[in-house]
Chains A and B, each alone.
Chain A
Amino acid sequence: DVKVTQSSRYLVKRTGEKVFLECVQDMDHENMFWYRQDPGLGLRLIYFSYDVKMKEKGDIPEGYSVSREKKERFSLILESASTNQTSMYLCASITGAGTGYEQYFGPGTRLTVT
């Protein structure tokens, strides 16, 4: 069974703080993704990575950066958190082999920036 874990379920940070969200998958998947989910806006792609040290911008990369130093780990970084980054953050992974299209999601991190 594929497992995607995220470091925190709930996080409260102050405006201006640097925030790290960690995601780990145990299925040796090449591709990993970071989304945020907001009411009425659905799932919006922030960044994705198809290999170690590789990254691609998604639809809303502003205010975020990512790091992929190891295949199983994909980190999302908020350099200076702002209140409009209060959201549910979801990590996902998928094999790059093309044998399946289903992304597997982690449980999510509910981030509140005050």
Chain B
Amino acid sequence: DQQVKQNSPSLSVQEGRISILNCDYTNSMFDYFLWYKKYPAEGPTFLISISSIKDKNEDGRFTVFLNKSAKHLSLHIVPSQPGDSAVYFCAASPFPNSGNTPLVFGKGTRLSVIA
């Protein structure tokens, strides 16, 4: 049973517009959420994270929103750039996290930003 779901396998967005990537989770014990970005033939790289005590975290063009009651988070990229084209993975960590518990990943969303 998938605990972290990314229901959109792919998304296409025009350059300069907003990209919104969604993620749902089922385990109410998840305490910390992360987004990773992956280019082909490379390992995923950490992008942004949010703790369950917050509902928003911003880093430049990237903002993550968390709605705990809905068990939903989203990643907003504004403005989208062609270099943002990649696969984005949502991940969650249970509470309490000791570092010994693996992250739970979604299946990813492939974002294509069209110039």
A94 part of interface (Cβ distance < 8 Å): yes
A/B pair count, beta carbons within 8 Å: 64
Q: Is there contact, CB below 8 Å, between B102 and A30?
A: no
Closest chain-B Cβ to A60's Cβ sits at a distance in Å of: 12
Contact of A45 (CB < 8 Å), options: B32, B42, B97, B102: B102
Count the B residues whose beta carbon is within 8 Å of the partner chain — how many?
25
Count the A residues whose beta carbon is within 8 Å of the partner chain — how many?
31
Q: Which of B12-20, B54-62, B78-86, B105-113 lies at the interface?
A: B105-113
A-to-B contact residues, CB < 8 Å:
4, 9, 30-31, 33, 37, 40-43, 45, 48, 50, 58, 90, 92, 94-98, 100-108, 110
Given contacts A42-B107, A101-B32, contact A31 B99 (CB under 8 A): yes
Closest chain-B Cβ to A29's Cβ sits at a distance in Å of: 9
Residues of chain A lying within 8 A (CB to CB) of residue B93: 101
Closest chain-B Cβ to A81's Cβ sits at a distance in Å of: 21
Residues of chain A lying within 8 A (CB to CB) of residue B98: 96, 98
Q: Is there contact, CB below 8 Å, between A101 and B97?
A: yes
Given contacts A58-B102, A98-B97, contact A41 B46 (CB under 8 A): no
